[in-house]
Amino acid sequence: MLPGLDRVHPAGAPARNCMEVPLFRPRSAVPAVLVLGLLLAPSAAFAAAEVHRLSLALSGTPTQVNAGDVNDAIDFYNKTVITVPPRGYDPLPKITATWLFDSELRYFATRNLAITAGVSQLRAKSVKEYLPALSQAINVRAELITVPVHVGAAYYLQPYNQGDFQARLFVGAGLESYTHSRTTFEQTLFGTDSSTTAQLGGSFRISSTQDGPGYYAEGGVHMFFASKYSVLLSVLYRSGQMNGLVNEATGLPVLDPKTGRPAGLDVGGVGFRMSAVIGL
């Protein structure tokens, strides 16, 4: 008989002398824990796009500016002052484009309808410096500025969803109130001789102001992500005609130099709006 086989279990049964296979193996448990974690723990891979009821949109819009009678004044100045012989200087460029900066609150009253309200600033200018002789300079500046305040609404179409990304086409429109609107035309002479000063009319600054109503319309796409941040892109049309400019210094009406009628300011145009939207 082999050694060890004659040993008796305390209960009377023969003892086993072989090694038993353990029921728990650490290496086999690792994949199980990973699978369980994927099933139970939240993961960004399975997150949905966030659409906040209230959000703040910060926008920059490169836009066309009609400018209207301001460009008429620039054209009149070019033809009668700066380009006529014997000077023949390059004309002062007209105002045609600028940036519109805007902050806007957007509130989803329903799943498809958002109410909007915001304030913007539009500032455009044309600047030219002429150097007729040594130590002489002629600085000319034409500028317009306005602060539009708007309220409106945007209608969102059905969303396109792909994972944690959502895109929604929308159309919107509303009313504008153009406030703190002002135009400035300035000529400043440095070191010019008496003849040049007399021909150019000396240094001067003319400022005029007027406010007025307008409207806007836009259409574009709003893109949502698994974050409180989203992106809005749209084509924006603005109407902004203000009639009856008055001189800030005298309070008298300003006349269009080309037509002789009361001058106006047109800040309307078409632009491409780019917004970073923050969910609140």
Between CA 58 and CA 104 the distance in angstroms is 7
Question: Above 50 in pLDDT, residue 174?
Answer: yes
Angle at 81 between CA 194 and CA 79, to 5 degrees: 165
User: Under CATH, which number does the domain 54-279 receive?
Assistant: 2.40.160.20
Q: Which residues pair with 215 in a beta bridge?
A: 175, 239
Question: Above 80 in pLDDT, residue 200?
Answer: yes
**What was the pLDDT predicted at 198?**
87
- The mean pLDDT value of the chain amounts to 85
- Which tens digit of pLDDT belongs to each residue from 131-150? 988 888 999 999 999 999 99
pLDDT band at 78 (very low <50, low <70, confident <90, very high): very high
**Number of alpha helices (DSSP H) and beta strands (DSSP E) in the chain:** 3, 13
Amino acid identity, position 251:
G
Q: Which residues pair with 54 in a beta bridge?
A: 107
Query: Which regions of the chain does DSSP assign to beta strands (E)?
Result: 54-64, 97-108, 113-130, 137-156, 160-162, 165-190, 204-209, 212-224, 229-239, 241-243, 246-247, 264-266, 269-279
Between CA 275 and CA 64 the distance in angstroms is 18
pTM of the model: 0.78
